[in-house]
A and B are shown apart, each in its own frame.
Chain A
Amino acid sequence: MEKILKNFIFILIFTLALFLFALVLSFTISRFLPGDPALAYLPEGPIDWDEYEAIMDQLGYNDPLIIQFFTYAFKMILGDWGASFSIIRGYPVQLLVTEALLNSLDLLIVPLIIGLILGVFLGRISIKNSSLRSNRIVQILSLLGLALPVFLVGILIQFIFGYLLPILPLSGYKSLGLDDPPLITGSRIIDSFLSGKFYLIPDYFYHLILPWITLTISITIFIIILVRVYHINHLKPSKDIEKDSIVPFIFQVGFSFGTIFAFLMITEAIFNLNGLSHLLFLAINNADYWTIVAILYVISMSFVLIIFIFTILFIIYRIYQRQSVSKLSNINQMDKEVKL
């Protein structure tokens, strides 16, 4: 029990350190972004420089850097992410980013779960009996699959199922003529359900089928390669803790979230989906300062959360592993005593 408490405290301290690191990183980047932080608060038309200076003072941009950092940290943590300058002038960035984030999650969750399960399953098949001739074919196919860029997969799927056999929509997230649900939580599915516009939900899923397929294929192939790299031959703890490959595999999946996020960005671009990366490109192209800052913060915090979750998994697995190995050695010891 004491050990579990110690491990838990370690995880908390570690996550806090990561959280601070993420804050410093996103603060540093935010100071180099294009766009002006005060423009979103000025009225349209010629700039009144006295008003501009007053707003910069109010936002804390003339304060010492350390005070600026703490102001930034408090604002980000409390959700005061400013107003959009150019995407929807004056619109709270928190609402913009939340809606985009929830759309991205709608796109990511299903392919991630299926991709992880399929990837581990197929990866283990591909490394078992790797000397057999038939598995040479599997090896080469998985390498070819990895060499296929995700945008090619998406565009080919779009071309086949959206153009040649037009059974699924090419892009977008809703059919023509359909309206949007009222903004309650920001999630299209939840808001449609809460407002009683249930007909929007199947249409939304219908538009997500091709993006889901694209993302699932890319994530599956990526996980297959990870499984092969770590030679995951078993999912139970092994006697040889040093050579056990599950832990680095678990961590590598967590740390590879940057790559998975890149796949997500490509998929949103190909299928023209209004997710986080779409919002990011819009913000970059329109120099919408506060939106870019908020998205950077959200991405950094997502990674802290992911690493926190994987660290918990790591500790749980280590405890389970030690208990299993000590049970195994107890059984072996009893066997030896019986034989003696």
Chain B
Amino acid sequence: MNESRDSEFNEKRNSDLLDKIKAEFTELGHFLLPRLKSPYSLIGLAIILIAIIISIFPQILTPYSYTEATGIFPGAWDPPSLEHLLGQARYGRDVLARIIYGISDSLLFCSLSALVGLVGALIIGIPINYLNKQLNISAEIILAPIFMIPLPLLVIYTFFIFPGFFLYLFYGIYLIPVFTYLIVREDLSIYEIGKKVIPYIPLIIGFTILIYTLIGFLGLLSFSGIQIGYDIASARLNFIDAPWAFVFPNLAIIIVLFGFFILYTGLQQSPEEMQELKRA
């Protein structure tokens, strides 16, 4: 009889817990939905969605495959034409194809990094949150050693040791303290943590794309894929003769980054602020 009472109690506790989790997700949905409807969020989402669709279906905009975008062809630095809408870059490569595949690589790389960062932050952030509240130690002090690993050191380390694309794991490790910092000050609930972290995800991905492009510009990425920063660096030397090879990749990166940053701004706006904006 005690056993059946125990199992009844456990069942009730589990169903209470499930109800609580469900309620928190619903509350989180109520928090995010009005913010997703803000004009800034809609513009940001549209830009990001277009970038994702083009990354998955590049043939919408370019007839050239990934292999063709990394080959060697005649017509290096040639201006835009019917065959090459945005012109040609080094080794005769199509600028538009390089942009599309470069953006696709950046999105994949940086999203994976953000995911690694977020998962890592949840694993270590929750104990730090507990320490922060129980021992009243500042979160900044606890996180300092992790923040201390500077990105340039990390890049050099991975440049030498690991195949280029696994760099995303290390970028993700670098993002762990950033996400952890957001988690440690909040109450430990799905709603509170989600409310804090989710609006920052576009900002963090945007910054990661920016840093990834900067690192590519410096030539520190060792994998043989397409990297927009690297393309911009090589086009820079021919800026006067072939400005299209420099300008268009820069424009593409700016638009994608703008999409992420404006989505971040939209998610930060409360419904009251949106009402005031409409009235203004």
How far, in angstroms, from A303 to B240 measured CA to CA in the complex? Answer: 39
B144 touches A307 (CB 8 A): yes
B140 touches A259 (CB 8 A): no
Among A147, A155, A247, A314, contact of B254 (Cβ-Cβ < 8 Å): A147
A146 touches B145 (CB 8 A): no
Question: In the assembled complex, how far is the CB of residue B140 from the closest CB belonging to chain A, in whole angstroms?
Answer: 4
Question: In the assembled complex, how far is the CB of residue B84 from the closest CB belonging to chain A, in whole angstroms?
Answer: 23
The chain A residue sitting closest to B219, CB to CB, is A281
- Asked if B236 is at the interface of the complex by the 8 Å CB criterion, the answer is yes
Point out the residues of chain A lying under 8 angstroms from B83, CB to CB. none
A147 touches B145 (CB 8 A): no
B140 touches A300 (CB 8 A): no
B261 touches A143 (CB 8 A): yes
A14 touches B161 (CB 8 A): no
Among B140, B215, B265, contact of A314 (Cβ-Cβ < 8 Å): B140
A130 touches B144 (CB 8 A): no
- Asked if A261 is at the interface of the complex by the 8 Å CB criterion, the answer is yes
Chain B contact patch, size range = 35 or more
B257 touches A147 (CB 8 A): yes
Point out the residues of chain B lying under 8 angstroms from A248, CB to CB. 140, 181
A-B Cβ contacts below 8 A, count: 136
**Stretch with Cβ within 8 A of B (4 or more), from A54-62, A94-102, A209-217, A262-270:** A262-270
Point out the residues of chain A lying under 8 angstroms from B240, CB to CB. 163
- Asked if B217 is at the interface of the complex by the 8 Å CB criterion, the answer is yes
How far, in angstroms, from A112 to B257 measured CA to CA in the complex? Answer: 24
How far, in angstroms, from A149 to B252 measured CA to CA in the complex? Answer: 11
- Asked if A22 is at the interface of the complex by the 8 Å CB criterion, the answer is yes
Interface-central residue, B140, B233, B265, by most chain A CB under 10 Å: B140
Point out the residues of chain B lying under 8 angstroms from A144, CB to CB. 254, 258
A258 touches B261 (CB 8 A): no
A147 touches B148 (CB 8 A): no
B273 touches A303 (CB 8 A): no
- Asked if A320 is at the interface of the complex by the 8 Å CB criterion, the answer is no
A307 touches B148 (CB 8 A): yes
Among B211, B229, B257, B277, contact of A136 (Cβ-Cβ < 8 Å): B277
A265 touches B218 (CB 8 A): yes
A14 touches B152 (CB 8 A): no
- Asked if A139 is at the interface of the complex by the 8 Å CB criterion, the answer is yes
- Asked if B232 is at the interface of the complex by the 8 Å CB criterion, the answer is yes
Question: In the assembled complex, how far is the CB of residue A222 from the closest CB belonging to chain B, in whole angstroms?
Answer: 10
B150 touches A258 (CB 8 A): yes
The chain A residue sitting closest to B272, CB to CB, is A131
- Asked if A52 is at the interface of the complex by the 8 Å CB criterion, the answer is no
Question: In the assembled complex, how far is the CB of residue B11 from the closest CB belonging to chain A, in whole angstroms?
Answer: 39
Q: List 11 A-B contacts (CB under 8 A).
A: A18-B145, A29-B157, A143-B265, A147-B210, A147-B253, A151-B229, A163-B240, A259-B207, A269-B218, A280-B152, A307-B148
10 tightest CB-CB pairs across the interface, nearest first?
A131-B276, A147-B257, A258-B150, A255-B147, A258-B151, A251-B140, A147-B258, A143-B261, A133-B280, A147-B254
- List chain B positions with a Cβ less than 8 A from chain A: 138, 140-141, 143-145, 147-153, 156-157, 159-161, 174, 177, 181, 203, 206-207, 210-211, 213-215, 217-219, 229, 232-233, 236, 239-240, 246, 250, 253-255, 257-258, 261-262, 265, 273, 276-277, 279-280
Excluding A144-B254, A151-B229, 5 further A-B contacts by CB distance (< 8 Å) are A26-B153, A151-B233, A262-B211, A296-B156, A307-B148
